Structure 1
Amino acid sequence: MILASASGAGNAVLGLGLATAGAYAVPAVFARRITDGAGRTSLIVAWLLHAVVLGWTLLGEPARFGFGPALSVTAWLVLTVYAVESRMFPLLRARWALSGLGALAVLLALVFPGSPLHVEGSATLFALHLALGIASYGLFAAALVHAWLMTRAERQMRQAAEPQSGMPLLTLERLTLRFVTAGFVLLTATLLAGIFFGELIYGRAWRWDHKTIFSLLSWVTFLVLILGRARFGWRGRTALRWLYAGSALLLLAYVGSRFVLEVVLGRTPS
């Protein structure tokens, strides 16, 4: 745990992490009391500090990874997507929720920093495989954020209230499916790399474990969603149920299994 580390590097990461969480907390806690400009500035500062913390953790000596850093990277990628979209849709309103997500993810990564990475196969292929997996997590997480915005907008419309998402409902739906499709492509590439190059990446052949099974189940679920949308025009709650199911399975695939190993069982994953 970084919080228990007495090393200079550990203290530096701890200080940066707490500063990042504090910057994220400003627009999350004081959403109604600060101006849009101040909230945006705080979020940008937090996003930049978050990138530094991730770089220090993933590229430092020794590089560490686990369920905490995985969630932290995912949150950072979601915030990156939000930063791009907020330029195209200035009225997009999700800053307070995403700020809270960012603060929580950073704190989790500080408390549960994972274990040092030991690469037995090709370091280049391992890095590529890890990047593909993380990117697919980020895209599916972005799809979940848009699904949440879409659900909130539909509820407000049923209550005859003005939608607060800042984005048309059909646009939200279209973007949600696009993120799902992009995430599915990267998840497919991740699984294929593991199947065909497992020995080169990990120094061992592909094996059936909890991570593999849940990953394949999530892949099948997302495939059904994409085909159901294309063939039967699935929309609304039906599509969202499949999205939530696939995302839950994908979460269990890596984050869930690592959480059980690192926290519940107190073991260092191999």
Structure 2
Amino acid sequence: MILAIPSPLGVALGIATAVAYGFVAAAGTRLSRQSTQWALGIAWLLHAAALGHGLIGSQPRFGFAPALSVTAWLVLTVYAVESRMYPQLKVRRALAWLGAAAVLLAILFPGTPLHVTASPWLPLHLALGIASYGLFGAAVVHAWLITRAEKQIRLAAAAEPQGGVPLLTLERLTFRFVTAGFVLLSATLLAGLLFSEQLYGSAGRAWKWDHKTIFSVLAWITFAILLIGRARFGWRGRTARRVLYAGSALLLLAYVGSRFVLEVVLARPPV
């Protein structure tokens, strides 16, 4: 296994971000809500700086670990917005641990440099794909919150187990994220189908049925089935969540899984 060496500034930003997230996660309920929000906001800004340095620095890099790091940052961004509307949501510690793990993983595996001959539109193509990851990640978090709330209801653990947010509201938010993620995933696949050679320049190639493409299409089909099932047959509850988890797992295997195999298992740059 060959580890790429990130820049010293990138390492410093990544470590500072992981420490900030770790502080939020370890502090738990010992901090006031306002103090926790400030600490999480600082970690979020450091995370953004680390991502910006890696993606648009002197030698832009991308790979499976940066993709996971961007996804975690987007999920935290969604939480930051939602916590303003639903301050009862109690997932700060879990998301902070997620952010810390993603940042540390990106330090160990910073990815490979982007092709210098790639089109200026390539970053937009990558952004669409990773944004869909983030939206589906937010949907998975909300589905997990629903599962936790239902379990607490069955165990009669609390009068308001979902932190005061109604289950129907969580379910509605989940499908909003699924719908938005499906639109972005569709745009990403369509761009890859029509403009692959133009996007990657001299390193580009026509649409090819490799592992990444197959898993992406399977994920798209799974999410399409979920949305059709929701609209046509009123799917909800455990059935809908299982289909969501299955589609998310397929999407994770598409880019992150294929790049992990190439970068870590086979220790060679993607073609």
The residue that corresponds to 1:231 in the other structure is 232
In structure 2, do the counterparts of structure 1 residues 189 and 72 end up closer, same or farther at CA, with 3 Å as the change threshold?
A: same
The one-letter amino acid of 1:180's match is V
- In structure 1, runs of 5+ residues without a counterpart are none
Structure-2 separation of matches of 1:263 and 1:269: 11
Q: Which piece of structure 1 moves more, 115-124 or 72-81? A: 115-124
| Counterpart mapping for 1:55-70 below 5 A | 55-70=52-67
CA drift of 1:160 comes to 1.2
2:26 counterpart of 1:29: yes
Cα RMSD after superposing both structures? 1.6
TM-score w.r.t. structure 2 length?
A: 0.94
**SS of alignment partner, residue 65 of structure 2:** helix
Kept after mapping to 1: 8 A contact 2:131/2:181: yes
Instruction: Note the alpha carbon deviations across 1:5-63, whole angstroms, 9 max, x for none.
Output: 4xxx8222111111111110112112032222222111000000000000000001210
Q: Please report the TM-score for the alignment, with normalisation by the length of structure 1.
A: 0.95
Looking at both structures, which has the greater relative contact order when contacts are Cα pairs under 8 Å and sequence separation is at least 6? 2
Distance 2:185 2:166 in 1: 28
> What are the equivalent positions in structure 2 for 1:202-241 lying under 5 Å apart?
202=200, 203-241=204-242
The secondary structure found in structure 2 opposite 1:21 is helix
Runs of 4+ residues deviating >6 angstroms: none
- Alignment equivalent of 2:130, drawn from 127, 130, 134: 134
Query: Structure 1: how far apart are the matches of 2:164 and 2:190?
Result: 38
Name 1:170's counterpart in structure 2: 168
Q: 2:145 aligns with which of 137, 149, 153?
A: 149
Counterpart Cα distance in 1 of 2:194 and 2:8: 41
The amino acid of 1:252's aligned partner reads: L
Q: Unmatched 5+ residue regions in structure 2? A: none
Q: Aligned partner of 2:157: which letter?
A: A
Query: Which of 10, 28, 42 pairs up with 1:13?
Result: 10
**How many residue pairs were aligned?**
266
Q: Percent identity?
A: 69
Contact (CA 8 Å) 1:149, 1:165: kept in 2 or not?
Answer: no
Q: Is the CA contact (8 Å cut-off) linking 2:63 and 2:256 kept in structure 1?
A: yes
What is the distance in 2 between the residues matched to 1:244 and 1:120? 37
CA deviations on 1:137-191 (whole Å, 9 max, x unpaired) are 0000000010111111111111112214442111000000110010000000000
CA–CA separation in structure 2 for the residues paired with 1:52 and 1:121: 24
Compute the displacement of 1:254 (Å): 0.2
Which residue does the alignment assign to 1:262? 263
Cα deviation, residue 119, structure 1: 4.6
